[in-house]
Amino acid sequence: MPDSGSASRLLVVDLAATSRNWSLPGEGRERIAAATPRGWRVHFVSAPTVSDGDGGRPPSDEAVRIVADAEAYFGFGLAKPVFEAGRKLRWVHSAAAGVGAALFPEMVASDVMLTNSAGIYGEPIAEYVLGGVLHFLRGFDFAVAQQHDARWDKAPFVSDDSPLREVGDCAVLVIGAGGLGSAIARALSALGARCVGVRRRPERGVPRGFERVVGPDAIDAELGGAEVVILATPSTPETRELLDRARIARLSREAIVVNVGRGSLLDEEALADALESGSIRGAVLDVFREEPLAPSSRLWKIRRALLTPHVSGVSPRRYWGRQLDLFIDNWARYSEGRPLRNLVDKRAGY
């Protein structure tokens, strides 16, 4: 029931993404309209918005204008001009998992609640991680090079020092044992991998898929025995360059590094050095310190690196179903004064 009736509480939905896969489809608008709680009205912003990131891009004039009367805002993060114009805002739901760009000082200091979409990307990203790990475990990097050269050579696959292994042979360290890390652990452990998780508060328990969890202070002790190291934690001051040069030096020659968290978690130059020297097996990278990754980056030319342009969470057929299940449930909770799912700790940064 967009913009109708005498309803006084306004939700602004700002999801007309320029990328078709990320733009709210017609059936999504219908679901939101049908689920509108009593006393609410909805304005769907028709001006295009950018779905990349978590609110760092300039918003449309329409979004800034209409949010002045809004109590709730649903978009890809939260741009500062939207926050400044939305004097009546009390709740923001982001269709993104990351929240870094939305946590500017004024937002952090305010009483506006922020929820994010952490968890709904878990399944496609877990499949991405599994595929990337298999790329190196099964020697697909050798196959791609040989196909490019029209060369038939079994040696890299069958030699005494062949790096080929099965997933079930691997000890996996997942740094970040929340919704995303847990989905990754479930996918890998289903094939026999032994997964250890790192979480800020290990006393919260061991999620399904992990054999055990440890605190951040145990990372150094765990790295040497890990054949796969997966970064799946948010970017905060405490996690920046979490995998730095010293820690990369602790990794074994068989180690595969995967980053599906944030580019700031990793020292990219140190990783490039390790890949070029052959001191680790490979790296699967979907996120980078600067995006787009510069054409001059050494990483593009390293055969041991598998790079993708921040697309590990893409799932065109299932994304909006999961997203709207979360949002509509939270909208009902907010309207009724119940606790919200995925409530962000604005001071902790996630």
Ordered by where they begin, the domains of the chain are 9-120+315-336 (3.40.50.720), 122-307 (3.40.50.720)
Phi, psi of 311 (to 5 degrees): -130, 10
Q: Is the pLDDT of residue 93 over 50?
A: yes
Region 229-242 average pLDDT? 95
The residue-averaged pLDDT of 246-262 equals 98
pLDDT tens per residue across span 277-306: 999 999 999 999 999 999 999 999 999 999
Q: For 283-304, b where at least 16 C-beta lie within 10 A, e where not — what string?
A: bbbbbbbeeebeeebebeebeb
For 6-36, the pLDDT digits (tens) are: 679 999 999 999 998 899 999 999 999 999 9
User: Quick one: which of 37, 6, 349, 323 has its CA closest to 178?
Assistant: 349
Q: Is 269 helix (H, G, I), strand (E, B) or coil?
A: helix
| Sign of the torsion angle spanned by Cα atoms 242, 248, 254, 258 | positive
Distance between CA atoms of residues 284 and 256, nearest Å: 8
Q: Check pLDDT > 80 for residue 53.
A: no
Residue 54 has pLDDT above 80, yes or no: no
Residue 57 has pLDDT above 90, yes or no: no
Percent of the chain with pLDDT over 70: 98
What pLDDT is stored for residue 1 in this prediction? 42
pTM of the model: 0.93
Question: 46-60, 80-94, 244-258 — which is least confidently predicted?
Answer: 46-60
Would you state the pLDDT for residue 56? 74
The residue type found at 68 is: A
Query: Active-site positions?
Result: 262, 291, 310
Whether residue 3 has pLDDT greater than 60:
no
* 44-58 burial: b if 16+ Cβ within 10 Å, else e: bbeeebbbbbbbbee
Q: Distance between CA atoms of 48 and 2, rounded to whole angstroms? A: 18
The pLDDT assigned to 6 comes to: 62
Contacts of 170 (CB under 8 A, 6+ apart): 133, 137, 188, 193, 194, 227, 228
- pLDDT the model gives residue 45: 98
CA nearest neighbour of 310 among 280, 282, 274, 284: 284
